[in-house]
A and B are shown apart, each in its own frame.
Chain A
């Protein structure tokens, strides 16, 4: 019961801070689940991240998988609810407030500040988490190539995921 409680409380706290969504949360999630609580090892964390990327659905499925690993089906449910409820309540009330803001300066200030924070957190998160789960130079090379393809082309992400998986199966990564 203790571990479920701690899963719920800690993930709930993250939810309210996750500017930039789940992607910005990955290092915090790693720190909590691998370094502090030892719920899983680095390898399993990296693999859950990969499974969530390859599966359909919101990218918060990494969190669902960690919950499942910690406490089975109940853990998965608790983790998924925890990561959603604080932000869901916030947006339920804030959407009306932001929508009704008549002062365009105020409205834009909120919007610009949040989007700059989101960009910084997402990039910082990718940098941080790459140091944890990319095992060698070849993995980093694949990450950099993927970045270039995302930025400069309009390829569907699924192609990249398929290519990454295939390279891995063939033993290149």
Chain B
């Protein structure tokens, strides 16, 4: 049996742990904590909330914290969860920022950060390619991806413009795809 309600304090503590353990992406940790350890949600409920968090623009993990927090404790819960998620990691990056200001001129530090940022771009693109696998079930959808990638990556159009250009095609093809399945 899972509890029907959680207090904002419990949500704050739970999401603080999720934020602080989330090296290299927070989502896997969120699932482990919420579904496996605390059993706040079943796997299906978690997937549904995650799906909605990824549909709506904005930082996905923050969206997820708003969904989970508001489900258990309304607006207060949403605030508590989002604040818990952000507070610890923000303090850590600011400390790292202070260290960076002291030591950024060292060759080793510059080299390390160059290496990490090259890998970081690879992590983002790799995740993008993994997400793309799902789109092969309806190949016309790849057109939306191509248009978006070229508009953003080649023509360097602004984010708003890219979304404006690509979304009519995306909605039209998504409607076709939904009817076909």
Contacts and interface: CB of A to CB of B under 8 A. Distances in A.
A163 interface: yes
A87 B56 contact: yes
A56 B63 CA distance: 18
Contact of A105 (B63, B89, B149, B179): B179
Interface string B91-116: 01110110010001001101111111
Classify the secondary structure of B's interface with A: helix
Please tell me the size bucket of the interface on A: 35 or more
Contacts of A133: 117, 121
Contact of A123 (B59, B125, B138, B158): B125
Contacts of A55: 89, 92-93, 96
Chain B CB count within 10 A is highest, among A15, A73, A126, for A126
A140 B122 CA distance: 9
Contacts of B174: 108-113, 116
B122 A144 contact: yes
Contacts of B173: 112-113, 116
B5 interface: no
Contacts of B89: 55-58, 61
Given A53-B117, A53-B123, A124-B148, A117 B163 contact: yes
Contacts of B75: 92
B119 A88 contact: no
Please tell me the size bucket of the interface on B: 35 or more
A6 interface: no
Contact of A18 (B90, B128, B159): B159
Nearest to A108: B178
Would you list the 4 A-B pairs with minimal beta carbon distance, nearest first? A87-B58, A57-B89, A146-B122, A120-B148
Given A117-B166, A128-B156, A158-B23, 20 more contacts: A27-B159, A48-B97, A52-B93, A55-B96, A57-B89, A58-B61, A58-B89, A64-B86, A65-B93, A88-B82, A91-B56, A95-B66, A114-B170, A121-B163, A122-B127, A127-B154, A145-B122, A168-B110, A169-B112, A173-B115
26 contacts: A26-B124, A27-B159, A28-B159, A46-B113, A47-B100, A56-B89, A61-B90, A88-B62, A90-B58, A98-B55, A108-B174, A109-B178, A114-B170, A115-B135, A117-B144, A119-B132, A119-B148, A120-B145, A121-B159, A123-B145, A123-B149, A124-B149, A127-B149, A146-B121, A147-B122, A150-B122
